[in-house]
A and B are shown apart, each in its own frame.
Chain A
Amino acid sequence: MVRTAIVDAVIDTAALLAEVANVASGATLLFVGTVRDVNDGRGVTGMEYSAYRGMAERELADIAQDASTRFGTFDIAVEHRIGTLELGEASVAIALSHPHRGPAYDASRYIIEQLKQRVPIWKLEHYVDGTREWVGAGQGARIPEAVALRAPVDR
């Protein structure tokens, strides 16, 4: 079972874990990404996530499917939340199970790294001093290596 979603509500991590529970799996992992109170030395009070929703859903589904193929058959459930989040709230959760811990850790890491490179989601950070800034907006943009190598780039 592989399920991915972009969601507007609080992520229920216990439900995700239950979803991937499988008697054939000896390892079950949960990664939770949360809103941190400091970024680049600036105090953060909250975060606004937005997405190119249709594409984000498809990219996320492709990544999870790809992980399932690369690391062996197992159960994966991934949710990324968008909207306004407070400090400590979960923006992303990756639950998965696998017969063995090695591939489980590898797959979890693979999914979060790919997500960060490919999925069209942006965050507007709110700072203690009242200002707001798009994270990463100053970076140069090019097709990420992961995309160039693996994602189906239409010609």
Chain B
Amino acid sequence: MTVTVLLFASYADALGSRSMRLELGSGATVGDVVSHVRALPGADRLPSEPLVAVNERYAKRDRVLASGDEVAIIPPVAGG
């Protein structure tokens, strides 16, 4: 299955990309996406457990993904 991964702010700068598509086996979780992304060049500034949203809602690491899901890795927010 394919999921879209979105990166923002400092994480997008670190990885030189704002979005990517990942091919994952069925049953893959949010944690699997994080492991994948953290293995990419430049990802050393991502924390081991970054905030993640699936389809625009905060999600936990054991959340099982479905094909077409939008997985956003959320840097520390700084609104206001």
Contacts and interface: CB of A to CB of B under 8 A. Distances in A.
A152 B57 CA distance: 8
B66 to A, nearest CB: 11
Interface residues of B, number: 27
Contacts, number: 104
Contact of B76 (A33, A139, A152): A139
A33 to B, nearest CB: 5
A122 B56 contact: no
A143 B72 CA distance: 13
A155 B6 CA distance: 20
A41 to B, nearest CB: 18
Contacts of B45: 137
B78 to A, nearest CB: 4
Interface stretch (A69-77, A101-109, A113-121): A113-121
Given A52-B6, A147-B58, 6 more contacts: A51-B79, A55-B53, A58-B56, A118-B77, A153-B57, A154-B55
25 contacts: A33-B80, A52-B53, A52-B74, A55-B56, A112-B80, A115-B79, A115-B80, A116-B78, A116-B80, A118-B77, A120-B53, A120-B74, A121-B77, A121-B79, A122-B75, A134-B13, A134-B75, A135-B78, A136-B78, A137-B10, A140-B76, A143-B51, A153-B58, A154-B55, A154-B57
